[in-house]
Amino acid sequence: MENIDLSAAQVRVARLGEPDIESPLGLSERDGDFIANYVADDDTVVLHQNKKVIEEFVRSGSFLPAFTKAGPRKKIFFNPADTRVAIVTCGGLCPGINNVIRSLVMELFYRYGIRAIRGIQYGFHGFNPTAERPPMGLTPEVVKEIHTLGGSYLGSSRGPEEPAVIVDWLEKNKIRVLFTIGGDGTLHGTERIYQEVARRRLLLSVIGIPKTIDNDIPYVEKTFGLETAFSVAAESIRSAHTEAIGAPNGIGLVRVMGRYSGFIAANAALAMNEVNFVLVPEVPFDLEGERGFLPILKQRILARRHAVIITAEGAGQELIAGSAGPGDESGNKALQNIGLFLKKAIADYFKKAGLEVNIKYIDPSYLVRSVPANANDAIYCMQLAQNAVHGAMAGYTGIVVGRWNDQFTYVPLKLANSERKYICPDGELWRTVLEATGQPYSMKNP
């Protein structure tokens, strides 16, 4: 649950110094002249939308939490002619990575006139002098069509690299701006890089662009790739529903990604609106007993003769005995396969009850990661990249670019790494899921 009592220090963004170079963008500072405006340094986006909450802050004289608004500044910190930039992508694949890379290059090259742009290959390991693939030059010609492809043009990898090694490379190559594109693990690594840069007192801007289909970065409304991911997952639900209604007592079971947060499962279920049960990590459930999932599923089968279930990969882990083995290089714990577990548990339960069912299991997990971004995600990726460039050129550092209350913001890395975003079981999204599926508010026994 995101903290409603953020302090001024928690939302304050760092800056390398006072910008004194006129921006080459040629924008305006007044309304009504048909020219887009610069964003003022003191423009903000408030954390809260509820009028009553805001009035209480004002009445009590407390600090009203607000994020620095993203966008182009009239004065910039770096001279484009002398600015060298590095871009790296880390962690698992996600729809839209190439859109972000391309938009960063286009914005840097055409809007700010920066020519020295380096792409680091295969994650943070690409900074190491022993890396098999050296950094590559990025130009508009090189990246002009990569947005039509899934994956990452630069390649990606999991696992950390010593911040000192990375900053050594940045310092040696006179890099002034580093863009990292990645999820939870990447942003923690980016914060460590930023801390090492600050310790050395380097004039180097470090900017994170949050990439995770799990949508679990706090104080960011939506991470890119989520919408494409649940759109692809929704097609699996369509197939599961077709299979379920095409057989007597048919059960379609779909497993999607969502290690700690169930946003893909919830949104895919809403997008297709043919799902009867949504299982997510945030809402525990029992298998048997008066309120257990299996007896309720049986009621559904007896009444309607079919059912569709979607489960996030992190759901119900406490129900599965045994060890899942070691985690990955990013520090993510290994998970048992809840999809296969549920498939067997359902089959065993109905066999014991003397009721024949036809179970069809679909796992599109990696399909949702590797496809190109859809139209909405493509637009969002471009906007994130453009605002990342504006922030870097204005001298902001140690930040994540996000969106809050439908406006783009700069969030300190420390705050973005302070917690994880989950579906709130008391919130609007989960209520919508329950109303759409008709599943009980709780499948947990007293």
Domains 8-223+371-416 and 228-370+426-437 share a fold: yes
Per DSSP, 146 falls in state G
> Terminal CA-to-CA distance of the chain, rounded, Å?
25
Q: For residue 4, what pLDDT is reported?
A: 63
What CATH code would you report for 228-370+426-437? 3.40.50.460
Question: Angle at which helices 184-199 and 163-172 pack, to 10 degrees?
Answer: 60
Residue with tokens 């297709």: 272
pLDDT in tens, 71-124: 999 999 999 999 999 999 999 999 999 999 999 999 999 999 999 999 999 999
Q: For residue 2, what pLDDT is reported?
A: 47
- When pLDDT is cut at 50, 70 and 90, the band that residue 326 belongs to is low
Question: Above 80 in pLDDT, residue 148?
Answer: yes
What is the rounded average pLDDT of the residues 294-310? 97
Nearest to 108 by CA among 165, 163, 175: 175
- How far is Cα 23 from Cα 26, in angstroms, rounded to an integer? 7
- How far is Cα 80 from Cα 442, in angstroms, rounded to an integer? 57
What is the rounded average pLDDT of the residues 437-445? 96
Nearest to 236 by CA among 249, 217, 222, 255: 255
- Give the start-end residues of each E strand in 219-305: 250-256, 277-279
Asked whether the beta carbons of 73 and 38 are under 8 A apart, the reply is yes
> What are the structural domain ranges in the chain?
8-223+371-416, 228-370+426-437
- How far is Cα 374 from Cα 225, in angstroms, rounded to an integer? 8
- Give the start-end residues of each E strand in 291-393: 306-312, 358-362
Annotated catalytic residues are 214
What is the rounded average pLDDT of the residues 244-266? 95
What is the rounded average pLDDT of the residues 361-381? 91
pLDDT in tens, 215-235: 999 999 999 999 999 898 999
Domain 8-223+371-416 has CATH 3.40.50.450: yes
Question: Above 60 in pLDDT, residue 28?
Answer: yes
Q: Where are the alpha helices (DSSP H) in 61-162?
A: 97-106, 140-143
Average pLDDT, the chain: 94
Helix, strand, coil in percent for the chain, rounding step 5: 35, 15, 45
